[in-house]
Amino acid sequence: MLKLSVEAQVFPLAEVFTISRGSRSEARVVVATLSDGAHAGRGECVPYAHYGESVDSVIAQIESMRDALAQGMDRLELQSRLPAGAARNALDCAFWDLEAKSAGKPVWELAGIDAPRAEITAFTLSLESPDAMREKARRHAARPLLKLKLGGEGDIERLEAVREGAPEARIIVDANEGWDRDAYERLAPMLVSLGISMVEQPLPAGQDAPLAEIERPLPVCADEACHDRTSLPDLVGRYDMVNIKLDKTGGLTEALALKREALASGFEIMVGCMVGSSLSMAPALLVAQGAAVVDLDGPLLLARDREHGMRFDADGIHPATSALWG
C-alpha cells in the first residue's frame, strides 16, 4: 500500500524567460511523493499550458490515482491509467525513485542501462531584442553549446547578433512553432551560413507536412510534434531528430522506450526539459546518455535550485546523487 502526497512549488527565475508564446519569471512545478512506510520516492513535473495543463489540473490528475495506489497499482499499471503528460511523469519518476531506494540500487541499474556520466548541456538564450541577445551571448560565449530561442519578426537579426557575440560556440535554434513554410525556406540558408547545427520545431505541430516536401539543409528536430512512441510514424520523412522530454512522454518509463524506438527508426536523439529544478533533470539525464543534443539547463535558469541539486561544470551536467533522486 503506497501513500501519496503532492504539492506545488515555485522557483523564481534568474531572469525573465521568453519564447515565441510568452514570458515567465518563475517556474511552477508539481512534486509527487510515494511512500511505502519505509522509503519515499519523489518525482517532479512542470505543467505546460500549451498542452492544456495547469498546476491545478495536474495535481487533480495525480490525486485521482490515490485510491489506485492504495490498492497496489504499480509503475507499469500507471502507464495505462494516466495519459502521457506531466502528471504521469511525476508519478512515474516517484515510482522509480522509490524502487531504487527500496532495492538499495540506482535507477540506472534497475532500468538495465549503463551507469550515467556527465553530458554537455545546452544553455538557453531566451527570445529578446538582437542587442540584448548579443550581449547575453557574449556573457556565455565560453559555453560549448548555446540554444537560441527564435520565432518572430527580427529572427535574422537575432541570429547574426548571437553569432557575433559568440563566434566560436556551437549553436542550435528553437523556433517553438513560430515559423511558416516561407519563413523556414528564407531562414534555413541563413542558419547554415552562420554555422547553426540544428533547428528545433520550425513549423507548428500538425502543420509540418511541408517539411517532407522541401529541402532540409540542416537537421530539423521535432519537439511539440513528438510526445511518445505513438508520435513517431507521423515524423518519418519530416524530421531528422526527436526531442524527448519526460513531461511529454509521461515519465522515464516511456522516455526510455521512445528513445529505443526512435533510434531504431533512424532518428537522432535530443533530450530536453521544461524549466524546472534538478529533480526534473535527474531522470532525464539517464535518457540523455549518448544523445546527439542534450538540453537540460533548467536549474541554470533558476535563481536558486533545490537542495542536493545537480552539479554543472565544464564537463556538463553530472548525475544526481541519491540524496536528490534515484
List the catalytic residues: 149, 245
Pairing state of beta strands 196-200 and 220-222? parallel
Provide the grid cell at 194: 552562420
Residues in the chain: 326
d(CA 149, CA 133): 10
Half-sphere exposure of 66 (CA within 13 A, CB side): 8
Instruction: For 80, list phi and psi in degrees, rounded to 5.
Output: -100, -10
- Name the nearest CA neighbour of 279 among 312, 320, 247: 320
d(CA 233, CA 103): 37
What are the start-end ranges of the E strands in 122-228? 123-125, 145-149, 170-174, 196-200, 220-222
Provide the grid cell at 59: 495535481
Provide the grid cell at 223: 519537439
Residue 228 one-letter amino acid? D
Q: Which residues lie across from 248 on neighbouring strands?
A: none
d(CA 97, CA 43): 8
DSSP 3-state of 163: helix
d(CA 236, CA 265): 8
d(CA 87, CA 82): 8
d(CA 14, CA 139): 15
Strands ordered across the beta sheet of 3-19? 3-19, 22-35, 40-45
Residue 160 CB: number of other CB atoms within 10 A?
16
